[in-house]
Amino acid sequence: MSNPTAAMLVIGDEILSGRTRDANMYYLAGELTKHGIDLKEVRVISDDATAIVAAVKSLSAGYDHVFTSGGIGPTHDDITADCIARAFDVAIDVRDDARAILAAHYATTGTEMNAARLRMARIPDGAELIENPVSAAPGFTLGNVHVMAGVPLVFQAMVASVLATLVGGQPLLSQTLRVDRGEGEIAATLSALAEKYSDLSIGCYPFQNNGVFGANVVLRGADGARIDAATTELARDLGL
């Protein structure tokens, strides 16, 4: 059976403006690979409600899981939770269990539980909370959409919470073969190998180092023995 599929939706004007460099996609891709869930698509969109709702609907219909990052904080431009509710056509309001989590956290830290912070307890009807052991404010899962914070440390903690509840498939394995030749010289060999090992993904990534042009050939798949065989055959065919 094939692995479950996933998409990621990165939300935030700060990403698109270049003010903030996204680290969450890189982290999520690695964790999903280890868990046997295939990340197939990543979209980055602005803090625009219409765009968020449309993207959530599209990705939710196309993949087994959707992971979002950003837009669930306490400020006016944190609109992701409302957009998720709109996408699933459900109501959203402050929920008692989420409020209790925040109240306990702020009581411990001696921080005021004001109206802005209470916004982070607004959860769409029918959603399940995602634990946040870093800063308490929970994410949530509604349908197949997992809604998480944009702050990398919090995002990573939430990813761990979610993946513990998901059934994955076979982890993706890989090997890399460095070839000190240009892509044009090895293209025909790679094409033949890819046709023979159609169950593997074979990628060619060029580099230039101290005047030397070459390529890293990465072979990926779920069967380690097949990867070993293909890598050995490629090295032999290229005389390495």
Instruction: Provide the pLDDT confidence category of residue 69 given band limits of 50, 70 and 90.
Output: very high
In percent, how much of the chain has pLDDT > 70?
A: 100
Residue in the block written with tokens 């059976």: 1
pLDDT in tens, 192-223: 999 999 989 999 999 887 777 899 999 988 88
Q: What integer pLDDT is reported at residue 139 of this predicted model?
A: 96
Cut 0.85: pTM above it: no
pLDDT in tens, 126-162: 999 999 999 999 999 999 999 999 999 999 999 999 9
Residue-range domains of the chain with CATH: 5-163 (3.40.980.10), 173-237 (3.30.70.600)
In sequence order, the 6+-apart residues with CB closer than 8 A to the CB of 166 are 4, 35, 37, 65
User: Secondary structure of 201-240 in the HEC alphabet?
Assistant: EEEEEEEEECCEEEEEEEEEECCHHHHHHHHHHHHHHCCC
Distinct helix (H) and strand (E) counts, the chain = 9, 11
- Helix orientation angle between 183-196 and 224-237, rounded to the nearest 10 degrees: 140
